[in-house]
Amino acid sequence: MDEASRDALGLSATEAAVLMALLLHNGNDAAAAQELRMPDPMFYQVLLSLRERDYVVFGAAADGSPTYTVKVAERLTLKTEQQRLQPPTHKVVLRPLREQVVMVARSDQNPVRGAARAYTFVFGREVKNWAVLGKMVNALGVDATARLFLEHSLDAFDGDPLYELLPLAVARAKQDWRPEELGPAEPSRREQDAWERRAFLDRMEKWRTYLRQMELGIDPFEGAQYRLRPQQVEIDRRQMQADLDRWEREQRRRR
């Protein structure tokens, strides 16, 4: 019995072997066990399982000897009929149009050819000017280019949409537009310095408030925020001293 038939009947390899041996020996269990060279306890345990599941029926032969009738053909017919009557289990997956157009654009390893497929998918026409399309992909990336096509899919174009959408793609690129597939851009050194300077000045405002409190005899490090987080006291004391030293150095350089 092949694997497909075993799967259709829901049988293990051992159960299938016992059934085939019984068929070969016309239901004679002793001959079947001898044919398989299977220990009797194991053979009859499998046979009992097959009887309980109605794969074989115990009875008597014409001469009165015990025999087993194998019902493989009936079970196969029943299984086939059940499969025929069972409704198909196809799963329908619905995706938003934005996802569909991006999937089309990513269907080719070459980003320009992928964008061309997205262009045809959206506008229903073939790409004629590949140079223009290449400029758009280089500026925006393939995903953003495909979404740009979709954004303007209902626009009324006088000619080729690529020519009219190219200026928009270039303008987006000049506005620090970054293709989403490249991920977020790393901040420039100038931006990092500006953020650090802003944080330093904010801390200095805080330390000036602390210094005024100290002049009035108030310990700012005994406030409620430090009672809840006592380990923060030492951290802020060190940061305050470091910032005050930095401020002093900057003032000396300006003199």
pLDDT in tens, 146-161: 888 988 888 888 888 8
Q: Are residues 177 and 138 in the same domain?
A: yes
For residue 116, the model assigns a pLDDT of 92
Lowest mean pLDDT among 10-14, 134-138, 182-186, 219-223: 182-186
DSSP 127: -
Q: Are residues 16 and 75 in the same domain?
A: yes
pLDDT tier, 183 (very low <50, low <70, confident <90, very high otherwise): low
Alpha carbon distance 137, 117 (integer Å): 13
Alpha carbon distance 166, 145 (integer Å): 10
- Give domain status of residue 16, yes or no: yes
Alpha carbon distance 204, 198 (integer Å): 10
Q: What is the mean pLDDT of residues 198-205?
A: 90
* Last residue within a domain, chosen from 182, 217, 241: 182
Alpha carbon distance 151, 168 (integer Å): 12
- Give domain status of residue 224, yes or no: yes
Which residue type occupies 220?
P
Q: Are residues 110 and 34 in the same domain?
A: no
Q: Are residues 12 and 58 in the same domain?
A: yes
Q: For residue 235, how many C-alpha atoms fall within 13 Å in the half-sphere facing its CB?
A: 5
Alpha carbon distance 94, 100 (integer Å): 10
Q: What does each C-alpha distance from 148 to 114, 144, 154, 164, 207 come to in angstroms? A: 14, 6, 12, 12, 50
Q: Which residue has the higher pLDDT, 188 or 20?
A: 20
Q: What is the mean pLDDT of residues 178-195?
A: 65
- Give domain status of residue 91, yes or no: no
Alpha carbon distance 68, 205 (integer Å): 96
Q: Are residues 197 and 146 in the same domain?
A: no
Q: Are residues 78 and 103 in the same domain?
A: no
* Last residue within a domain, chosen from 182, 197, 225: 182
Q: Which residue has the higher pLDDT, 59 or 141?
A: 141
- Give domain status of residue 31, yes or no: yes
Share of the chain above pLDDT 90, in %: 10
- Give domain status of residue 90, yes or no: no
- Give domain status of residue 92, yes or no: no
Domain containing 66 equals: 3-85
- Give domain status of residue 248, yes or no: yes
Q: Are residues 106 and 78 in the same domain?
A: no
Share of the chain above pLDDT 70, in %: 78
Q: What is the pTM of this model?
A: 0.38
- Give domain status of residue 29, yes or no: yes
**CB 144 within 8 Å of CB 132:** no
Q: Which residue has the higher pLDDT, 105 or 188?
A: 105
Q: Are residues 17 and 46 in the same domain?
A: yes
Which residue type occupies 149?
F
Q: With b meaning 16 or more CB within 10 Å and e meaning fewer, what string describes 24-60?
A: ebebbbeebbebbebeeeebeebbebbeeeebbeeee
Q: Are residues 194 and 167 in the same domain?
A: no
**CB 105 within 8 Å of CB 115:** yes
Alpha carbon distance 48, 165 (integer Å): 76
> Residue 60 pairs with which residues in a beta bridge?
66
Q: Are residues 164 and 225 in the same domain?
A: no
Alpha carbon distance 193, 199 (integer Å): 10
* Last residue within a domain, chosen from 182, 197, 221: 182
Structural domain total, the chain: 3
Q: What count of residues does the chain have?
A: 255
